């Protein structure tokens, strides 16, 4: 038996005999129709993205952000407003069958169906036509979605009470008086109360209310009762001093509230 007898050699054209450098194809035969992804197309995309990024950064520097006062979770009268790109969903939740007991429908089911259909669009509409006029169902659904978003966004902006929103979020100097930190009453407050109510008696949102602004609401006796017996979520026994010290503390709070009322 001779060596190699009965054997067949098969060549694979996918394996090049000579390795060539990775040079983009010459698209000069198709001017204006296609180009190399790297670096031609990708470089253009990066340049456009850089222009928009720089423009956005300049906009943030030129215009101050519309900041509001510190958020207060205890303020149930505050009317929130989401960013502009969520206004249509915010307006949707105002309708009868998308709010109240139907909130799940407006907040999850309806947006889920809409965005799910958008994600599945390439698989649901697999026709070869690219012109919108030749794809009436897909075009109609897309126009309906865009029109709904524009209408709900406009409706949300038009029906919102912008004056009330500006007032509720306005940043004001809540401390209009100078706190006498050398007074005996302040020292008593510092020992038992200011860890929750703040060094300037301004309170802490969600933790403890302000000790100011109660000029017509509490008297010295009321302050003494609250310090001993507590109120609301404030437990009893917070003040451990003598009766004389309790009276000094109550008189100090009455004085500070009177000063705050006069400053207003």
Question: Which long-range CB contacts under 8 A does 224-233 form with residues at least 24 apart?
Answer: 224/249, 224/250, 227/192, 227/193
What's the average model confidence in pLDDT over 40-64? 90
Higher pLDDT, 264 or 230: 230
pLDDT at 20: 67
Q: Cα dihedral sign for 163, 169, 171, 174? A: positive
**Does 215 have pLDDT greater than 70?**
no
Domain spans in the chain, listed from the N-terminal domain onward = 84-159, 184-263
224/191 Cα distance (integer angstroms): 15
pLDDT at 151: 95
pLDDT at 98: 87
% of the chain surpassing 70 pLDDT: 80
Domains 84-159 and 184-263 alike in fold: no
Q: CATH class for domain 84-159?
A: mainly alpha
86/71 Cα distance (integer angstroms): 20
Question: 165 in helix, strand or coil?
Answer: helix
pLDDT band at 50 (very low <50, low <70, confident <90, very high): very high
Average pLDDT, the chain: 78
pLDDT at 58: 93
Given CATH 1.10.760.10, say whether it is the number of domain 184-263: yes
Higher pLDDT, 233 or 102: 102
8/61 Cα distance (integer angstroms): 74
pLDDT at 1: 47
pLDDT at 55: 94
pLDDT at 154: 94
User: Over 22-40, what HEC string results?
Assistant: CCCCCCCCCCCCCCCHHHH
What's the average model confidence in pLDDT over 256-260? 77
**Does 101 have pLDDT greater than 80?**
yes
pLDDT at 57: 92
Higher pLDDT, 150 or 5: 150
pLDDT at 209: 77
pLDDT in tens, 9-28: 555 556 666 666 666 666 56
pLDDT in tens, 108-131: 999 899 888 888 877 877 777 778
């Amino acid at each position: 038996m001779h060596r190699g007898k009965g054997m067949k050699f098969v060549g694979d054209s996918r394996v090049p005999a000579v390795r060539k450098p990775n040079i983009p194809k010459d698209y000069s035969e198709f001017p204006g129709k296609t180009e190399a992804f790297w670096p031609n197309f990708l470089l253009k995309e990066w340049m456009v993205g850089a222009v928009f990024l720089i423009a956005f950064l300049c906009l943030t520097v030129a215009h101050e952000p519309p900041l509001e006062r510190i958020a207060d979770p205890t303020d149930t009268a505050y009317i929130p407003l989401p960013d502009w790109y969520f206004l249509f969903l915010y307006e949707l939740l105002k309708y009868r069958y998308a709010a109240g007991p139907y909130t799940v429908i407006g907040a999850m089911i309806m947006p889920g169906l809409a965005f799910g259909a958008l994600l599945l669009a390439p698989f649901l509409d697999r026709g070869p036509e690219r012109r919108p006029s030749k794809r009436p169902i897909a075009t109609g659904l897309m126009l309906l979605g865009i029109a709904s978003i524009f209408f709900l966004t406009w409706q949300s902006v038009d029906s919102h009470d912008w004056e009330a929103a500006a007032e509720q979020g306005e940043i004001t100097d809540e401390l209009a008086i100078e706190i006498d930190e050398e007074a005996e009453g302040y020292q008593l407050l510092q020992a038992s109360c200011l860890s929750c109510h703040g060094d300037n008696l301004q309170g802490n949102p969600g933790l403890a209310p302000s000790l100011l602004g109660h000029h017509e609401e509490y008297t010295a006796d009321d302050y003494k009762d609250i310090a001993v017996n507590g109120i609301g979520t404030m437990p009893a026994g917070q003040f451990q001093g003598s009766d004389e010290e309790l009276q000094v503390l109550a008189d100090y709070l009455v004085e500070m509230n009177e000063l705050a009322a006069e400053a207003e």
